[in-house]
């Protein structure tokens, strides 16, 4: 497989502790790669490095063979989008939240919501009043709105009900089957079995496949 992301000898610290200690790995394109490991092992840090929310102290991260530390950071984050563990609603309606990412008509917004498994009349609803599962699906749709090449997912379903978990898993699998790349942090062994094409495990600041 072609690699969408490559980490080369990446070092990152938190305080006086090395969270990532020379991490080198590749994330295959058009696939779902699950990143797992014990709490505090640096999984979230690794994701944040991939779209420059954090910067490595040593080493480099490549997206499609280009150093993510080069070029426009906003362009990078549109190409390498991130869905966080805790969904965040911006002010206004669902439509307003999607409009932050892309200028489109209601039909296109509805199609985006559909890709994230949010069917029905949601555009005029106040985003902050959505349920947890609905809000996370809206956040996924907002990230998909920029047509990313890569999705970074930091335990996006850890606090959701089973129905919402299933919907988001199906949406991300469809994204990968359509040619997108997903790097998903998960502690759920059942979820790993359902969604992963490849599993990377962080141990003592290093990744093994």
Cβ–Cβ < 8 Å for 19, 42: yes
DSSP state of 44: H
- Give the span between the Cα atoms of 11 and 56, in whole angstroms: 6
Instruction: Quote the pLDDT of residue 204.
Output: 82
Residue 73's Cβ-side half-sphere holds a number of Cα atoms within 13 Å equal to: 9
Instruction: Quote the pLDDT of residue 209.
Output: 65
Q: Is pTM, for the whole model, over 0.75?
A: yes
How would you write the pLDDT of the chain (209 residues) with one tens digit per residue? Answer: 578 999 999 999 988 889 999 999 999 999 999 999 988 889 999 999 999 999 999 999 999 999 999 999 999 999 999 999 999 999 999 999 999 999 999 999 999 999 999 988 999 999 999 999 999 999 999 999 999 999 999 999 998 999 999 999 999 999 999 999 999 999 999 999 999 999 999 988 888 76
- Give the span between the Cα atoms of 1 and 3, in whole angstroms: 6
Instruction: Quote the pLDDT of residue 34.
Output: 97
- Give the span between the Cα atoms of 156 and 137, in whole angstroms: 9
Cβ–Cβ < 8 Å for 193, 32: no
Instruction: Quote the pLDDT of residue 37.
Output: 92
Q: Which of 38, 47, 39, 41 is nearest to 5 (CA)?
A: 47
Domain range spanning residue 203? 3-208
Q: Are strands 80-83 and 150-154 parallel, antiparallel or unpaired?
A: parallel
Domain count, the chain: 1
Residue at token pair 């469809």:
174
- Give the span between the Cα atoms of 206 and 20, in whole angstroms: 6
Which CATH number do you get for residue 59? 3.40.50.300
Structure tokens at 137: 């699906």
């Amino acid at each position: 497989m072609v690699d969408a992301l490559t980490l080369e000898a990446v070092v990152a610290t938190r305080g006086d502790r090395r969270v990532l200690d020379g991490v080198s790995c590749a994330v295959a394109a058009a696939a779902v790669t699950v990143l797992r490991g014990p709490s505090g092992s640096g999984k979230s840090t690794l994701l944040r490095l991939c779209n420059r929310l954090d910067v490595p102290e040593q080493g480099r991260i490549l997206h499609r063979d280009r150093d993510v530390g080069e070029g426009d950071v906003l362009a990078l984050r549109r190409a390498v989008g991130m869905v966080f563990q805790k969904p965040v609603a911006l002010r206004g309606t669902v439509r307003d939240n999607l409009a932050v990412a892309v200028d489109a008509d209601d039909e296109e917004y509805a199609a985006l919501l559909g890709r994230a498994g949010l069917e029905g009349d949601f555009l005029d609803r106040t985003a902050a009043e959505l349920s947890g599962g609905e809000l996370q699906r809206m956040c996924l749709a907002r990230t998909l709105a920029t047509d990313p090449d890569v999705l970074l997912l930091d335990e996006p379903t850890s606090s959701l009900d089973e129905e919402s978990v299933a919907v988001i898993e199906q949406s991300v699998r469809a994204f990968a089957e359509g040619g997108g790349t997903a790097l998903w942090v998960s502690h759920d062994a059942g979820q790993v079995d359902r969604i992963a094409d490849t599993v990377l495990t962080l141990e003592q600041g290093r990744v093994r496949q």
